Every structure is written in structure tokens, then in C-alpha cells.
């Protein structure tokens, strides 16, 4: 229970931090908003279903960030029906395309045995891929400081 609470606390903190990083453009130089910006805005407004719809469309077109964000929603059942199989499929697809966050998430899933077989070897393999790209959570996991909470907020 403590581990679950830690994961949820870190997720909540990470989402808040990520959303704080999304800065409104200067009024006179507003770039056109793309679909990812629209999805993040919907997510921030609490319209997770709209964000999921946009991310689903982007993910189907190969957008790696959308795959990770949508995968996160499926893993935790946030705004969508919880679906570990679909969440892991999305994480794996993004991890195979080199996304460090997705690689970290796959390491976490293998370490915990969530929706995939528990495997220290697979967890380590994914953590090493993510750590090589500078992912701090993966580096922490490899140092053996315990299972890190998975900080995967919606992102650009």
C-alpha cells in the first residue's frame, strides 16, 4: 500500500510539475497550437477524455509522445477504462522507437510484474536504455536505491 501511495504521490507531483512547465506563449508571438498542445490544454482543463482522443489519433499516426501519454492513461485508468495490455503496447512501441520515458516505464513494469512477466533482466535492460539517455529515474533504479515512482506526466 505504501508503494502504491508513493507512486500515486509522485505521479501527481510530476503531472503538476509538467503542467507548470507548459508556458503560455507571449501574446504577440503566439505560435499556432498543434494537436499535442491541444491535448495538453484539454488535460489541464480536466477534459481527460478529449486529451485521450487526441493522443489516440496522434499515437495511431506514430507520435511517440502521444503513445507515452496515452499509455499512462491506460495503465492507471485515467479518463479511459484501465487497460494494462494497451498501455504496455503503447509503452513498448515508444520504447522501441527510442523514447527514454517509455523505456523507463517498461523497466518499471517488468520490475513490478505489471501486465508483463516480472523480470529483473528485462527491467535492467530497459532501465539501461533510458539511463543512457539521461533519464534520472532509470539512473536511480540502476543505482539500486529502490523502485522509483514512475514520473510520466503528459508532455509535449
Q: What is the DSSP string of 142-153?
A: HHTS-PPP----
What's the pLDDT band for 152 if we cut at 50, 70, 90?
low
Helices marked H in 22-151 — which ranges? Answer: 35-44, 48-60, 64-76, 84-96, 100-112, 120-131, 136-143
**Average pLDDT score, the chain:** 81
Domain count, the chain: 1
Direct distance between the N- and C-terminal alpha carbons of the chain, in angstroms, rounded to an integer: 31
pLDDT of 92 over the 70 cut:
yes
CATH label of the domain that carries residue 114: 1.25.40.10
With respect to residue 19, please indicate whether it lies within any of the assigned structural domains: no
Q: What is the pLDDT of residues 47-65, one digit of tens each?
A: 999 999 999 999 999 999 9
Domain of 137 in residue numbering reads as 2-8+34-143
The pLDDT of residue 65: 95
With respect to residue 135, please indicate whether it lies within any of the assigned structural domains: yes
73 and 48 in contact (C-beta within 8 Å)?
Answer: yes
pLDDT of 128 over the 70 cut:
yes
The SS3 of residue 21 is helix
With respect to residue 52, please indicate whether it lies within any of the assigned structural domains: yes
pLDDT of 20 over the 50 cut:
no
pLDDT of 25 over the 70 cut:
no
Grid coordinates representing 78 are: 485515467
Amino acid at each position: 500500500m505504501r508503494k502504491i501511495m508513493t507512486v500515486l504521490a509522485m505521479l501527481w507531483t510530476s503531472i503538476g510539475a509538467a503542467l507548470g512547465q507548459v508556458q503560455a506563449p507571449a501574446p504577440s508571438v503566439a505560435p499556432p497550437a498543434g494537436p499535442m498542445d491541444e491535448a495538453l490544454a484539454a488535460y489541464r482543463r480536466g477534459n481527460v477524455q478529449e486529451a485521450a482522443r487526441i493522443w489516440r489519433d496522434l499515437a495511431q499516426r506514430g507520435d511517440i509522445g502521444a503513445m507515452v501519454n496515452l499509455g499512462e492513461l491506460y495503465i492507471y485508468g485515467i479518463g479511459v477504462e484501465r487497460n494494462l495490455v494497451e498501455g504496455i503496447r503503447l509503452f513498448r512501441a515508444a520504447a522501441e522507437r527510442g523514447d527514454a520515458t517509455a523505456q523507463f516505464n517498461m523497466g518499471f513494469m517488468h520490475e513490478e510484474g505489471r501486465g508483463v512477466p516480472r523480470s529483473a533482466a528485462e527491467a535492467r535492460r530497459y532501465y539501461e536504455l533510458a539511463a543512457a539517455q539521461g533519464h534520472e529515474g532509470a539512473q536511480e533504479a540502476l543505482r539500486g536505491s529502490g523502485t522509483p515512482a514512475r514520473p510520466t506526466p503528459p508532455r509535449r
